[in-house]
Amino acid sequence: MGGIPLILCVTGKMAAGKNAASEILSAKGFAAVDADSVVHEILGDSSVVERIVGEFSADAEKRGIRLVRPDGSLDRRSLGALVFSEKAFLSRQEAIVLPEVDRRLRAFASGCRARGQDAVINATVLHKIGCIAECDAVIFVDAPFFVRLLRARRRDALPFRRILARFWAQRNLFSKYKKSNADTYRVKNTGDLRVLERNIAECMEKIERAKRGEK
């Protein structure tokens, strides 16, 4: 974008299109990091797997869920089915994983600032960790409920009940970002990529004007 680097968070509810929005910004020259990929890397660490299994093995056994595959790796889908079934389970998992997510995302943002590189952090959970303070603005990608439901079903092939459980867990996500003290902009995504690109461009104009102190 020129001048002082811009660090953005792109977020949104499940299947709203935040990945597509992040890819649009990446094509414009933004360095991009996907928090889901960061989590995936963390959950591949044997010490983290050991902590997760120790924390949830009893709860998983009660529900007939196997958390570990035969090769010893963590079954992320099974873990997801468990932690999204109860709010307390999700909080317990996040207490293990999020501190390391925060550390890695902060390092990414700091590195981009040092290089003068605009950057986008693609993340749903950024409002829960300190790295939100590194972001100049939040782009919240939104889409109609049934559009998201069908997208999630086609993309992840999960049972509807599991998709709806995740939808329910994210029901107040926009208000949580609004309360995070980050400038938050809602961008609509109905499924047409060209429309999303236009909406992102309009949002970026607003962010740039705010950055310059204009209305």
- Please indicate if the annotation marks 182 as binding a ligand: no
The token duo for 93 is 């998992």
Neighbours of 73 (CB within 10 A): 12
- Please indicate if the annotation marks 15 as binding a ligand: yes
Locate all alpha helices (DSSP H) within the chain, ordered by sequence: 18-27, 35-43, 46-62, 76-83, 87-115, 145-156, 160-169, 173-178, 193-211
Q: Which CATH number is 7-211's, of 3.40.50.300, 3.40.1260.10, 3.30.1370.140, 3.40.50.40?
A: 3.40.50.300
pLDDT of residue 20: 96
pLDDT of residue 59: 96
Tens digit of each residue's pLDDT (9 = 90 or more) over 135-161 = 999 999 999 999 999 999 999 999 999
Q: Vertex 18, ends 13 and 20: CA angle to 5°? A: 145
- Please indicate if the annotation marks 16 as binding a ligand: yes
pLDDT of residue 4: 85
| Positions in the chain short of pLDDT 70 | 1-2, 215
- Please indicate if the annotation marks 116 as binding a ligand: no
pLDDT of residue 215: 60
pLDDT of residue 213: 80
pLDDT of residue 207: 95
pLDDT of residue 181: 80
The token duo for 38 is 């960061």
The DSSP line for 19-81 is HHHHHHHHHTT-EEEEHHHHHHHHHTSHHHHHHHHHHHHHHHHHTT---B-TTS-B-HHHHHH
Delimit the domains of the chain by residue range: 7-211
- Please indicate if the annotation marks 20 as binding a ligand: yes
